[in-house]
């Protein structure tokens, strides 16, 4: 591999780098390399890890990045940069290299990986810009935009290339939106009045035929500073004209985006006309000085809910809205939500008897959209949450969002998603004091409990029966060459309060083990969370084990027994 890329390494070594202060010291004893999602779950060194990139899927690449952080050296960064621009490698390998570079760049402060990526900033920016100017693969370009926009912001030198992609009709919708949004974010970093080239970009983007590009333009206007809005009336007129030309409001169906299907070989979720309309409404509210009440945005949201959610079912504790109008299972779905709420409280034992003061707000609001496209449309337009998940519980609004689905759209049924999200509502009201953004809320990693508990509830199709296993997670755990490491799992933040992929099967297996086979340990841990006396370092003793080894052995023995049944 190094023979192929030595030429590029020589070139990038000639580029001036950032700070040359000494790097943080590499750990004397880095954690063992664990790559359970990779073709080879154990490898000897970094060279062997990088050799896996051509076969690595998303999860495997994430695990390589984690294992590489404490072992990183300049030569490995240079090798990854060279792979990213080397056309003899396939696109997936090159994308994997870019993703690992991004994960290294987002490492914690005062770490060797972060400091090294700061030193290599000019090299990374040159590599990403080279890709933007020369490549045509949409996914590879998306990763290049992500690297510049998320980790090396503001990269002013990339502005012309981002504009070309955003306004160019030959690119896929998701890439055009990402490029347009990255270009718009550069405007927010400008000093003084709005620059002429930025104004021209916003006007051109507002008139784009692509809804994602129009969305990015409207978002840029919404976040213009007052000193950049020297012609507020003119901007409001432009936005109102764009709103008039938006297509009529309608509920999206699950036919997907044909442009995405043609260009990317699968249906990729991208902004739609509803996204653009909502962004334009926000911009108009901001220009009209009505950001406190956002009347245009609220009117749009209410109109869409009226179209998408015509049916309402209520109980003393739940208000459920759904669609389409011809469905007749609303009472059944209402019962699933109410029953799961009560069952989750029972699983918490005495802690589930009394809510945290001020944290339970009934009735719980539940919105079940008629399809995945309608759900994603709404979530992207009116909430700050990611759209590519099966459901979300918003504690601020006390609202659960999900959708009706086909079997081929997701591994989770609607009932499983409802039970999972209801569990989050219960832990928010009864178990975890504070809220997501409360200072100190994430002082201790809680993903293993919060997500593991939710997955336990998701599997309970018979509320009055003994605790049921989760068949899919059990099969996954039993098929893995390595059992989950307990200490790694309970410290896991990626995919929960940090970006990445969470280990749902392992979290389910631990919580099922605790609730079904070690109820005293479960009760002690639950009490510690509620009383805010939980500390990761004390996990084994809280549960009644002498140390980490004995706790993990006990859990692994149970897994072996489950897998033999």
Q: Would 428 be classed as within a structural domain?
A: no
Q: Would 81 be classed as within a structural domain?
A: yes
**Contacts (Cβ under 8 Å, ≥6 apart) of 370:** 251, 308, 322, 323, 324, 327, 403, 404
Q: Are residues 297 and 178 in the same domain?
A: yes
State the DSSP H helix or E strand holding residue 321, giving kind and residue range, or none if neither: strand 318-322
Q: Are residues 291 and 347 in the same domain?
A: no
Q: Would 335 be classed as within a structural domain?
A: yes
Among 79, 219, 421, 552, the active-site one is: 421
**Contacts (Cβ under 8 Å, ≥6 apart) of 24:** 110, 111, 112, 115
Q: Are residues 114 and 170 in the same domain?
A: no
| pLDDT > 90? residue 416 | yes
Q: What is the pLDDT of residue 14?
A: 42
Provide the total of helices (H) and of strands (E) in the chain, helices listed first. Answer: 26, 5
Q: Would 423 be classed as within a structural domain?
A: no
pLDDT-derived band at 28 (thresholds 50, 70, 90) equals low
CATH number of the CATH domain containing 492: 1.10.390.20
Q: Are residues 53 and 118 in the same domain?
A: yes
| Share of the chain residues as helix, strand and coil, in percent rounded to the nearest 5 | 60, 5, 35
Edge-to-edge order in the sheet of strand 364-369: 311-314, 318-322, 364-369, 399-403, 391-394
Tell me how far apart the alpha carbons of residues 96 and 68 are, in angstroms, rounded to a whole number.
13
Establish whether 332 is a catalytic residue. no
Q: Are residues 405 and 315 in the same domain?
A: yes
Q: Which residue segment(s) compose the domain that 115 sits in?
A: 31-133
> Tens of pLDDT along 198-211?
999 999 999 999 99
Q: Would 46 be classed as within a structural domain?
A: yes
Q: Could you tell me where the beta strands, DSSP code E, fall in 345-480?
A: 364-369, 391-394, 399-403
Q: Which of 17-26, 46-55, 173-182, 526-535 has the lowest mean pLDDT?
A: 17-26
Q: Which among 367, 384, 417 is the end of a domain? A: 417
| pLDDT > 50? residue 180 | yes
Q: Are residues 233 and 348 in the same domain?
A: no
Q: Are residues 273 and 407 in the same domain?
A: no
Give which of 418, 413, 385, 409 is closest to 254, Cα–Cα: 409
Q: Token match 């503001």: residue? A: 154
Q: Are residues 473 and 526 in the same domain?
A: yes
Q: Would 26 be classed as within a structural domain?
A: no
Q: Would 202 be classed as within a structural domain?
A: yes
Q: Are residues 383 and 406 in the same domain?
A: yes
> Tens of pLDDT along 238-257?
999 999 999 999 999 987 54
Q: What is the pLDDT of residue 455?
A: 99
CATH number of the CATH domain containing 377: 3.40.30.160
SS3 of residue 368 by DSSP: strand
Q: Are residues 352 and 224 in the same domain?
A: no
Report the Cα 303 to chain-centroid distance in Å.
28
Q: Which of 250-254, 268-272, 488-492 has the lowest mean pLDDT?
A: 268-272
**Contacts (Cβ under 8 Å, ≥6 apart) of 277:** 243, 246, 249, 300, 381
Q: Are residues 321 and 302 in the same domain?
A: no
**Contacts (Cβ under 8 Å, ≥6 apart) of 315:** 334, 338, 363
Q: Would 366 be classed as within a structural domain?
A: yes
CA dihedral 111, 112, 113, 115 (to 10 degrees): 90
Tell me how far apart the alpha carbons of residues 10 and 8 are, in angstroms, rounded to a whole number.
5
> Tens of pLDDT along 304-329?
999 999 999 999 999 999 999 999 99
Q: Which among 79, 100, 133 is the end of a domain? A: 133
The number of distinct structural domains making up the chain is 4
Longest dimension (CA), the chain: 72
Q: What is the pLDDT of residue 109?
A: 86
> Tens of pLDDT along 420-466?
999 999 999 999 999 898 999 999 999 999 999 999 999 999 988 89
Q: Are residues 61 and 35 in the same domain?
A: yes
Tell me how far apart the alpha carbons of residues 176 and 212 are, in angstroms, rounded to a whole number.
7
Burial of 480 per CB tally in 10 Å (0-12, 13-18, 19+): middle
């Amino acid at each position: 591999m190094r023979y192929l890329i030595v030429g590029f390494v020589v070139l990038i070594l000639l580029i001036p780098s950032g700070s040359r202060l000494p790097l943080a010291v590499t750990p004397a004893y880095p954690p063992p390399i664990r790559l359970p999602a990779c073709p080879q779950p154990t490898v000897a060194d970094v060279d062997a890890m990088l050799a896996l990139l051509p076969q690595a899927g998303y999860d495997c690449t994430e695990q390589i990045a984690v294992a590489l952080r404490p072992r990183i050296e300049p030569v490995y960064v240079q090798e990854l940069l060279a792979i990213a621009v080397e056309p003899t490698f396939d696109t997936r390998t090159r994308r994997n290299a870019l993703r690992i570079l991004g994960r290294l760049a987002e490492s914690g402060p005062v770490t060797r990986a972060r400091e090294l990526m700061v030193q290599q900033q000019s090299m990374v920016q040159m590599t990403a810009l080279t890709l933007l100017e020369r490549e045509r693969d949409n996914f590879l370009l998306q990763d290049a935009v992500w690297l510049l926009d998320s980790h090396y912001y503001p990269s002013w030198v990339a502005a012309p290339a981002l504009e070309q992609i955003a306004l160019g009709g030959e690119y896929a919708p998701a890439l055009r939106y990402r490029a347009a949004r990255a270009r718009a974010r550069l405007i927010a970093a400008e000093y003084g009045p709005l620059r002429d080239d930025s104004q021209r970009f916003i006007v051109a983007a507002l008139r784009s035929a692509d809804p994602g590009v129009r969305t990015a333009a409207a978002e840029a206007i919404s976040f213009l500073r007052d000193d950049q809005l020297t012609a507020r009336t003119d901007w409001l007129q432009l936005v109102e004209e764009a709103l008039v030309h938006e297509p009529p409001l309608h509920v999206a169906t699950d036919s997907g985006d044909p442009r995405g299907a043609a260009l990317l070989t699968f249906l990729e979720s991208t902004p739609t006309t509803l996204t653009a309309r909502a962004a334009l409404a926000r911009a108009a509210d901001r220009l009209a000085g009505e950001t406190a009440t956002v009347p245009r945005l609220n009117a749009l949201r209410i109109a869409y809910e009226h179209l998408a959610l015509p049916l309402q079912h209520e109980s003393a504790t739940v208000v459920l809205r759904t669609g389409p109008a011809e469905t007749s299972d609303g009472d059944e779905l209402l019962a699933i939500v109410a029953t799961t709420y009560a069952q989750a409280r029972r699983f918490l034992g005495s802690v589930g008897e009394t809510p945290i003061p001020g944290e339970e707000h009934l009735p719980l609001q539940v919105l079940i959209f008629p399809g995945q496209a309608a759900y994603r449309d709404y979530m992207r337009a009116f909430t700050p949450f990611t759209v590519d998940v099966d459901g979300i519980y918003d504690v601020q609004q006390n609202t659960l969002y999900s959708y009706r689905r086909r079997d081929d759209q997701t591994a989770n049924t609607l009932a499983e998603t409802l039970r999972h999200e209801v569990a989050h509502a219960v832990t928010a009201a009864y178990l975890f004091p504070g809220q997501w953004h409360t200072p100190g809320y994430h002082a201790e990693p809680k993903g293993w409990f919060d997500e593991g508990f939710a997955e336990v509830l998701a599997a309970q199709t018979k509320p009055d029966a003994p605790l049921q296993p989760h068949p899919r997670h059990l099969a996954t755990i039993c098929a893995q060459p390595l059992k989950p490491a307990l200490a790694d799992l309970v410290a896991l933040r990626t995919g929960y309060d940090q970006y990445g992929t969470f280990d749902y099967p392992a979290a389910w297996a631990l919580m099922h083990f605790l609730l079904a086979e070690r109820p005293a340990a479960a009760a002690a841990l639950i009490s510690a969370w509620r009383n805010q006396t939980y500390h990761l370092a004390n996990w084994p003793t809280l549960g009644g084990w002498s140390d980490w080894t004995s706790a993990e052995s006990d859990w692994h023995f149970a897994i072996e027994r489950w897998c033999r049944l």
